[in-house]
Structure 1
Amino acid sequence: MDAFWSNEYVYIAAYCSVVVLCAVVFLAFFELVTKYRNWEEIKNGNMAVAMATGGKIFGIANIFRHAIIQHDSLLDMIYWGVFGFIMLVAGYFIFEFLTPGFKIDDEIQNDNRAVGFIAMVISIGFSYVIGAGIS
């Protein structure tokens, strides 16, 4: 069995499968905490939602990238990826808190692309900081 798990292809497939599963779960969580339905809005052409969601996807992937590079076991990678995701969600709520003049979710749902772009950049930028902390 050791030969099976030491195979590079199996190793990469296992990590990719776990990251895809985690990303689906994490995006479902974001779906619960936002007022809008991400995929419905994207289907309707809402670019602000697409940018914000794309930033979240990139952020999740970047966090897991650092978790994979830094940690040898699959369980450690999952642990640090989940921790990084929690930090990314915290960043999202801080962004909402720091903009009391308007509601982020409402602006993104109304296709305010400036807010969608800033949400994307915050997710991406924050994922680099989280990733550096994981590494």
Structure 2
Amino acid sequence: MIVVVNLIVSIVIIVALQWIGMLVFSWMTPFNDLEELRKGNVAVGLALSGKFLGTALLLGVAAYTNSSIWHLALWFAVGYACLLLAYWVFEWVTPKLTLSVELQKGNVAVGLLLAAVYVGTAFAVSSLII
């Protein structure tokens, strides 16, 4: 019975952290992500997919390698900070390319590249958790 309760609590915590992570990411853009998705903006969809997969990867590795919910949340916070930093560093090293403007314009190449940046960063950071 305790195993089932621990599993349910873990799933609730993981879903909550994923939701919070996506909410914070949505605050980073000057446009409404969901509105852009409703319009069919593929670039925003790709970038959001990368964010979701990146946060899921961090959560999965953190959950697998930690037996404590608090350690899971701590490692997720560290990894998530790295994802946010990756976005801002990428924005900084591409001064002639404003990422949020390009995404809102529907630039699929930028959306795909950002997705790869998020997933790649999450993969690299998750290897540090182990």
Q: Fold match, TM over 0.5? A: yes
The equivalent of 1:58 in structure 2 is 53
The reply on whether 1:12 has 2:12 as its aligned counterpart is no
TM-score scaled to structure 2, two decimals?
Answer: 0.95
What are the Cα deviations for residues 33-76 of structure 1, in whole angstroms up to 9, with x where unaligned? 11221111011100000000010000001001111111111111
Identity %: 25
Deviation at 1:95, TM superposition (A): 0.9
User: Deviation string for 1:65-120 (max 9, x for gaps)?
Assistant: 11111111111101111111011100111111111111011001110000000000
Moved over 4 A (4+): none
TM-score (norm 1): 0.91
Paired residue for 2:81? 86
Gapped runs of 5+ residues in structure 1?
none
Unaligned stretches of 5+ in structure 2? Answer: none
Hey, what does 1:131 align to over in structure 2? 126
Q: What is the one-letter code of the residue matched to 2:17?
A: C
Tell me which of 77, 86, 97 is aligned to 2:72: 77
